[in-house]
Amino acid sequence: MRLKSIKLSGFKSFVDPTRIPFPTNLSAIVGPNGCGKSNTIDAVRWVMGESSAKHLRGESKTDVIFNGSNSRKPVSQCNVELVFDNSDHTLRGEFAAYNEISIRRRVTRDGDSSYFLNGAKCRRKDVTDLFLGTGLGPRSYSIIEQGMISRLIESKPEELRVYIEEAAGISRYKERRRETENRMRRTHENLERLTDIREELERQLAHLHRQAQAAEKYKNFKEEERKTKAQLSALRWQRLNSEVQEQELKIAELETKYESFVSQQRHIDTEMEVVREQHHDATEAFNRVQERYYQLGNEIARFEQTLAHRQEQSAQLLQDIQEAERLMQEAVSETETDSELVEEKIETLTFLEPEIEAAAEKTEIAQEQLAELEEKQSAWQGKWDAFNQNAQGPKRQAEVAQSRIQHLERVLEQYHRRQESLHRERQQIADNPESEALAQLVEESDLLDEKTEELQMQLEDLTDRQQQHRELVEAKRLARDQARQELQQKSARQSTVKALIKAAMSEESPGVQNWLASHQLREARRLAQDLHVEASWEGAVETVLGSSLQAIQVENIAQLPEALERFKEGELTLIDRSSVVHAGGESLLSKVSGSADLSGWLGQVLIASNLQQALDRRASLQPGESLITPEGIWLGPNWLRMRRGEDSQHGLLSLQQELETLDELVDELEVTEEDVTVGLEMAQLQLKAVEDEREQTQREYQRLSREQAELKAQLSGKRVQAEQLKERKGRLDQDIAEVEAQMIEEREALAMTREELQQALDSMEDDVEEREALLGEREEYRIEIDEKRDLVRQSRDAQHQLQLKQQQLQSEVDSYQTALERAKTQKTRAVERVERLKAQLQEKEDPSDDIQFELEARLEQRLELESQLSEKRIVVETADSKMREMDQSRHTIDQQAMTVRSELEQSRMSAQTVMTRRATLQEQLQEQQYDLATVLENLPEEANEADWEASLERLATQIQRLGPINLAAIEEYQTQSERKRYLDEQDQDLQRALEVLEGAIRKIDKETRTRFKETFDKINAGLKELFPKVFGGGHAYLELTSEDLLDTGVAIMARPPGKKNSTIHLLSGGEKALTAIALVFSIFRLNPAPFCMLDEVDAPLDDANVGRYAKLVEAMSEHVQFIYITHNKGAMEMAHQLMGVTMNEPGVSRLVSVNVEEAAELAAM
């Protein structure tokens, strides 16, 4: 088998659909760094089931999807397909017949991952199982990625053992052993559950056995109780029947008395109707007078209210007039006061005007003196400006220099602090423990990835098992339902047939039934119940025997003469069970077997196969003989009898035969249903165990996934922090260098500025005397000007104060004049309001004669109406009194009638109750299949209810002493016993299965030890042979770390030529690479994988070692397909197919393929 091609689309940098063919056994993939060469190897690992993002050089599972570039958008999914040539049928199993096998994997942005085998969707486990034992796999020795050489050679002994196991092909044995152990664990769990069920069932059986015994006693007591209850019901019926007759006489008397009272009620009702009409007329007249009286009262109240309202208005007007006069007086008083204030303020303003003029003149004189002094000071300022202009240069230079010196010193101090801060921060970064934490997080993340992947595989396996168990449970449930349905159908038919047989056998008259019950023959077996007829002859036997099939089997008829004498009514057939004659010959008796002698009925009835044969043989019949066919056609010498259709007897034997068949079938179906139910319970237990295990694994997987996500987030954060710290450290180094250069520049500038300051100070000392003289003159001018300015300011302040006082007085005058005008206006308005209110009061005080006259008229009318109203009220009250008397009489008669009626209803109810109880007792007897007349006839003369009730209580006490009774205990006991037997068999089967599984594990362990030891020895021999070839000398070997071949680790020991290394870790990088190559190729020589992928394995090697490596690969390519990535020219030269990966478009890989041999041939031409 070999890898034919790889098809990529959207995988990492291969965004466009790309096909990478591998037509030869030596194919090299070349290209510059970062072009996407290693993505081809990642694609192979990914399709073969790799689920760890770390091993695919990513952080999440969706990192394999093209994430976009400067010119391309991200894609939503990626696909990778591996096409294998299986023409040599390397793969086994169901795919062995395929010459070409396609494996494809697809993943989307939402994390949905799908696998396809030859276009059919499958599980990841199916893909990994496909390559078990072939040396292929996502982490097998057939794919050597970057850095894997060093990891391989430095791996722990337990990790190195995995490669030996893969080479030995025992990975599938380990998988089988793991599955076998899981099955053993599940079998142990099932055994524990089964043991619990069996123990519980044993306890139930012991309990059911006791219940079954109690149920038998209970049935006997209940039968006696039923009979006693029937007799007690008959006694009670007699008593109730007498009570009914007494009640009927009492009801007749009460009905007569009640009719008398009803006649009296009708007479009183007629008289009351007349009185009621008189009362109605009187009431109408009274209501009319009363209505007019109420209307008149309303009119009187309205007139009185109008007069009261007018009086209230007059009182209010008087109050308003008084208030208006008070306001008028206040306005007059305010007018006089405001006039006096205005005159006073005007007089004060007249006195202020001379003072304001004097203050203005004084201020003007002071200003003129101040102007003269300011002109002198201006002349001095000219001389001072000329001096300063000459002396300003050195001073300015000194000030600038001083300021610059201070600035430079501050800058140098800042640079110094900045330098110290940068050095501290750089030291903190150097001492930061985040690098160690990052390494620890990476290690924890790798471990979690492996655990998560393992749990994911377990979940897939458990999901498959869960589905299988669910299908099994569903199949078991369907089988159980079908068995139950069939059992229900057959049980229903069984009940129907039993009912038909019982109905057919219970058609005796009541006299026959009573006779049978009195002689304990009700439960005696009928002839048809013990009669066995050969198939197809049931109709013939039924035709001959007819109603005799209901014959009651007794031990000896001769023992029943007295009983037969008491038989008075009906038809009765008895048959002895004491003698059985086995018939022979060709009579119908030969077709029958049973417990009774039927020779008298069937001995002379000959059989014929059909009607024609019977007709032909009829002439040869002897006296008393007859012929019958299987169809039931019965012939004599001169007669023929046949029956068609159905009646009460026809088909009784067929029903009996069917019942026997149904009894056997129902028993079988019950056992089958029990077996299927137990099987379903076991399947459900197994499904529950798998579901519990899957749920537990799912919880663990979710927990690990959460931890993985948290760890990834921490790891990402730590990586970002580490990158930031690295960048920050670089920036700090740059900043420190810049600060040191700037400090040197600033120190040089500070020295130059200090020299300039000293020169300026020397020039300034020469101008000191002239400056002091000018400053003295300036001080004299300053004092005189300050004095004059104070004088001008005081004069202005005095003038301003007088002006303010003048303005204030003028404002007060204006305010008082305005108030005066307002008071005059208020006075005028108050006078007008008083006059207007007095006019209104005059109008209100005029009395209203019309209203007073109308009021007095209405009062007189009311007095007249009051007299009329009294007369009408007397008439109404008289009618009311008469009606009350008649109502009283009617009420008395009603009460008497009601009493009689109540007694009548009570008697009727009592009679109905007694009759109902009597009918109920009769129905109860009928339901219990007792005839009332027969029971009464058979009762002893001294029978009474008290004795029979005592008997019932005694029976009830005996039943109660039995305690709770389970009537189904007997049948349930048998059913559970059968179930116990079945479970015991299941327990034995599980024990045997456990022994088989343990034997399988021992066999797997034995095979694993043998194959591992053989493979280890061969690989060790191959390593000893290849190592000197690769190194040009030296030696290497493998050794086991323990004696247990199932768990031992594998260590590698290597000593290159001329060295005596005590450990493999002391070898150089190139030596480690060569040692790993020798080990990998030793494995390949023993169990060559279909192909081998090498990713820059030759990177640590020098040219000489590359040559040895190339020759070794080329020699092994005759048997193994090699696909390798290299930058070495020597390795490129040996390739038969060169494929270049370019990235002309940033972020997008493209493929260029060249067949070296074809190119060489073209070049030679």
Q: Please give the full DSSP string across 715-740, using - where no structure is assigned.
A: HHHHHHHHHHHHHHHHHHHHHHHHHH
- pLDDT for 650 equals 46
| Residue 906 to residue 474: CA distance in whole angstroms | 67
Residues at the annotated binding site for ATP?
A: 32-39
Residue type, 4: K
Average pLDDT, the chain: 78
Among 22-26, 420-424, 433-437, name the one with the lowest average pLDDT.
Answer: 433-437
| Residue 280 to residue 66: CA distance in whole angstroms | 107
Q: What are phi and psi of 550, to 5 degrees?
A: -85, 5
| Residue 515 to residue 506: CA distance in whole angstroms | 13
Instruction: Please state at what angle helix 652-765 crosses helix 969-1031, rounded to 10 degrees.
Output: 40
User: Domains plus CATH for the chain?
Assistant: 2-158+1008-1164 (3.40.50.300), 508-647 (no CATH)
pLDDT digits (tens, 9 = 90+) for 433-455: 666 666 677 777 777 777 777 77
Q: Over 90: is that where the pLDDT of 8 sits?
A: yes
pLDDT digits (tens, 9 = 90+) for 1032-1083: 788 888 888 888 888 888 888 888 887 776 567 777 777 888 888 888 888 8
Give the helix ranges, DSSP H, for 941-968. 945-962
Interval 619-640 mean pLDDT? 84
Interval 404-414 mean pLDDT? 81
- pLDDT for 647 equals 44
User: Residue 391 — very low, low, confident or very high, per pLDDT cuts 50/70/90?
Assistant: low
Residue type, 822: R
Residue 529 DSSP one-character state: G
- pLDDT for 82 equals 93
Residue type, 77: Q
User: Furthest-apart CA pair in the chain: how many Å?
Assistant: 193
Is 852 in contact with 300 (CB distance < 8 Å)?
no
- pLDDT for 203 equals 80
Interval 567-592 mean pLDDT? 68
Per DSSP bridges, beta strands 113-117 and 120-122 are: antiparallel
User: Residue 849 — very low, low, confident or very high, per pLDDT cuts 50/70/90?
Assistant: low
- pLDDT for 847 equals 52
Joined tokens for residue 917: 């109880």
Cβ neighbours of residue 132 under 8 Å, at least 6 residues apart?
171, 172, 175
Residues at the annotated binding site?
A: 32-39
Interval 822-846 mean pLDDT? 70
pLDDT digits (tens, 9 = 90+) for 230-268: 878 888 888 888 888 888 888 888 888 878 877 877 777
- pLDDT for 438 equals 66
**What is the pTM for the complete model shown?**
0.40
pLDDT digits (tens, 9 = 90+) for 888-900: 887 788 788 788 8
| Residue 554 to residue 660: CA distance in whole angstroms | 22
Residue type, 20: I
| Residue 1099 to residue 1095: CA distance in whole angstroms | 9
Is 781 in contact with 372 (CB distance < 8 Å)?
no
Cβ neighbours of residue 297 under 8 Å, at least 6 residues apart?
862
User: Residue 18 — very low, low, confident or very high, per pLDDT cuts 50/70/90?
Assistant: very high
Closest CA to 1142 of 1131, 1133, 1154, 1159: 1154
Is 607 in contact with 588 (CB distance < 8 Å)?
yes
- pLDDT for 5 equals 92
Unique residue bearing structure tokens 């008593």: 239
| Residue 456 to residue 600: CA distance in whole angstroms | 85
Q: Choose between 546 and 581: higher pLDDT.
A: 546
pLDDT digits (tens, 9 = 90+) for 146-175: 667 777 777 788 878 877 777 777 766 676
Residue type, 600: G
Q: What are phi and psi of 1035, to 5 degrees?
A: -155, 155
Cβ neighbours of residue 773 under 8 Å, at least 6 residues apart?
none
